[in-house]
Structure 1
């Protein structure tokens, strides 16, 4: 499948040093990979633990405290505060990227171009354009490198059983998929924080990376994802973050591709911060709606207090007393013409309960995962395929970030999306939000 971009991907101002020959080393299943960890604190610690069966060859973090802590666990690893050194190191086979969102695509693309396997935290990209580029860069090299996005739940048994139920037609033909998360966004406050002294050893220049220049203040980064993810300059809010996990389920089960329309409802757009509540709707003209049938599907996302209130008002009447949907902090509901399938990470409810009392669930057809990290490591060594590779996950994130674009461009307006031309056709100005301006020296163009 081709994934045309609106503009040609030319290259990095940042990777011009050795954007050299792509290096791919054949790997035997028993040979350990040399892995570099880009972003060693926070999620980076958990991701490092997931790949510790290999050689942790290098550690990279802009925060000297996080770097020192990781070095204590892996004393033999090289250390640096700049990921550009990592992606150009010919001794490194694979990278694990656990930075703020605005570094995911630049670091991943630079690594792929240097022939390295890549694992990146979600969301895979910071803009719709970056998500498309990630797909394209991976597809050029898909027979030589393995990639995986950090959607760990994709490897769990419960998601597999939910996919099988939907695809077997347990709820009949699916008309809508409702997806929600109770998380909200606390107010950002000041757009520009007052300057503070840069702590000794903290690489603020690299932490900012592609983002526009500003003086250091720990308020931009301290506290991790739940802090920096609130700001459009560094993150993508609740939809960009948790949507990666939760929209993954209907995207997989309904075999979704490119939406044709998208709309976002909620509070007025803020030029600095992601919305505390949001309802986003994507229209898919062709989806696998169950039992081998094709049809139209609307996918609706809800988060925050107002989003959760609307979700419950819409879904509870369809579920009766089978479950109290307001008690589900996260979840996905597949609404079909014969019933409703509700799932989260660990349970599944079929409604109406009286109809499904004696229902025989379909035989398990989706193979048990070797494990989210193991699946990627095996693929790096030529064994099998990673299911959340950058073709699949790049398309998922492109889809999700269109919801954020709709909110930022005009709340309440339905945008028409021509995926083939990579263009919003009914609002020219909105196309400016497909990409962004990169700080000099960190350009992606």
Structure 2
């Protein structure tokens, strides 16, 4: 059993994949090709099956669920009870060693800080991968998984389930048809004030049935406390990515899709005083995009909190999370509704014909892609740059603004920012 993944192994796997094989601990994985029947069921392993993982297990339950992996027996109990036939594991590495050669894909729904090691090990086996947002814990991890999936022709899907909602499709059609003219700026937000949890002062025992050592995985180890395990981890920098990582991919998806965005050229951020350990209760990030489908640069704003622009323009943001501002009007959107503003201007507006096809179901997209069909709509080539952008917002908040070179993953002269692009792992989990 090894928790360390070497670059040599990764390169060897890439070379082997070009010849139609992928090696991991000497195993030859079973793969479904486009020539096989699309009606054949995939053999899947679900890693992290409690919490958000419960919905993801249900989402792929039409396939053969071969294995379920979770470090927390109590949190996984519902999925274990509902699906009795999959073999159960605590350690994903043992599962891959035993069953990897028989799998077609994995569904990963673990905390952010463990995404990379699990996904990379699975990909080295040639396994198609469904992975929860924000894809990984830092920018380097995200780029590495994105590139590896493309180079090895793996079917991927980021857990941006709202991408399949019809309202999202209609917003894309409106923006791309020029309903509000050329878009100059976009404001996106998530309300609430979650973040900055209290620093634990006690050290309760690890609950029975929780493998806390595996839960910590590659991250900095702290004494167990329920304030970060099983749920509050997302508000500690060592394990999570804050409310920005939690919601950013869902909400930035609409402007990314509508405006053809890829990588920002500059990022600035502001907010409360930075805490070295905990994510903030509010923040504001400004991303500059030089290349868009609007034929001119634009600024994309992200807020944890309510943006002032709503009050300035007399707009209620209730039930919404995105405001597009164009030369000829505005579009206010949430996940399931949208409005063209000002209302009187668009009273007789004729909507464009539907051009974005209905999704067959977000999980079904990935399942079909695994069987040789079209790429899923949130495959890593699309969602990877978006996830990187989300994570760069956290970097700018923690270190100050910087110019961004996406090709070299360089934060210019901001050495503090550069130090967060690829972060270190604790002993035994290093990438050699």
Scaled by the length of structure 1, what TM-score is found?
A: 0.88
> In structure 2, the residue corresponding to 1:154 is in which secondary structure?
helix
Whether the 8 Å contact between 1:193 and 1:217 is mirrored in structure 2 is: no
For the Cα contact (< 8 Å) 1:102–1:233, is it kept in 2?
Answer: yes
Counterpart of 1:219 in 2: which secondary structure?
A: coil
Matches within 5 A, 1:226-375: 227-289=232-294, 294-304=295-305, 308=306, 311=307, 313-318=308-313, 320=314, 323-325=315-317, 327-328=318-319, 330-375=320-365
Q: How does 1:57-76 map to 2 (within 5 A)?
A: 57-76=66-85
Q: Is the 8 A contact 1:127 1:436 kept in 2?
A: yes
Question: Helix, strand or coil for the counterpart of 1:118?
Answer: strand
- 1:382 is matched with 372
Q: Counterpart of 1:45? A: 54
After TM superposition, the structure 1 = structure 2 runs for residues 186-265 of structure 1, keeping only pairs within 5 Å, are 186-190=195-199, 194-222=202-230, 224=231, 227-265=232-270
Q: Please state whether the residue corresponding to 1:122 is helix, strand or coil.
A: coil
Report if aligned partners of 2:195, 2:279 keep a CA contact under 8 Å in 1. Answer: no
What SS is found at the alignment partner of 2:85?
Answer: coil
Conserved? CA contact 2:130–2:157, under 8 Å: yes
The alignment partner of 2:142 has SS state of helix
User: Alpha-carbon deviation of 1:10?
Assistant: 5.4
CA deviations on 1:324-350 (whole Å, 9 max, x unpaired) are: 22x23x411110111101111111100
- Cα distance in 1 for partners of 2:25, 2:181 equals 51
Superposition CA RMSD, Å? 1.9
**Contact 2:271–2:283, Cα closer than 8 Å, also in 1:** yes
Give, in whole Å, the separation in 2 of the partners of 1:55 and 1:185. 38
For residues 109-258 of structure 1, the aligned pairs below 5 Å read 109-142=120-153, 145-190=154-199, 194-222=202-230, 224=231, 227-258=232-263
Alpha-carbon distance in structure 2 between the residues aligned to 1:9 and 1:236: 26
Q: 1:25 aligns with which of 13, 31, 38?
A: 31
* Partner Cα separation in structure 1 for residue 259 and residue 340 of structure 2: 17
The 3-state SS of whatever aligns with 1:180 is strand
Q: CA deviation at 1:19?
A: 4.4
The answer as to 2:390 corresponding to 1:439 is no
Provide the residue aligned with 1:5 in structure 2: none
Deviation string for 1:231-266 (max 9, x for gaps)? 011100011110010001101110001110001111
CA, structure 1 residues 83+370, in 2 after alignment: closer, same or farther (shift >3 Å)? same
Q: Which SS does the other structure have where 2:50 is aligned?
A: coil
Q: How many angstroms apart in 1 are the aligned matches of 2:427 and 2:385?
A: 28
Which is worse superposed, 194-203 or 111-120?
A: 194-203
Query: Which deviations, in whole Å up to 9, do the C-alpha atoms of 1:174-209 show, x marking residues without a partner?
Result: 01011011032243222x654332233321111000
Of 21-30 and 161-170, the range deviating more from structure 2: 21-30
Q: In the alignment, which of 95, 107, 110 is matched to residue 106 of structure 2?
A: 95
The DSSP-based 3-state class of the residue aligned with 1:213 is coil
Structure 2 unmatched runs, 5+ = 1-5, 14-22
Q: Deviations over 1:110-130 (max 9, x none)?
A: 111101111111110100111
Distance 2:67 2:51 in 1: 17
Structure 1 residues 315 and 19: alpha-carbon distance in aligned structure 2, compared to 1, 3 A threshold: farther
Deviations 1:38-97 (A, max 9, x none): 011001111111111111111111111133432211111100111112334212211111
Separation in structure 1 between the aligned mates of residue 144 and residue 196 of structure 2, nearest angstrom: 32
TM-score calculated relative to the size of structure 2: 0.91
| Structure 1 alignment gaps of length 5 or more | 1-7
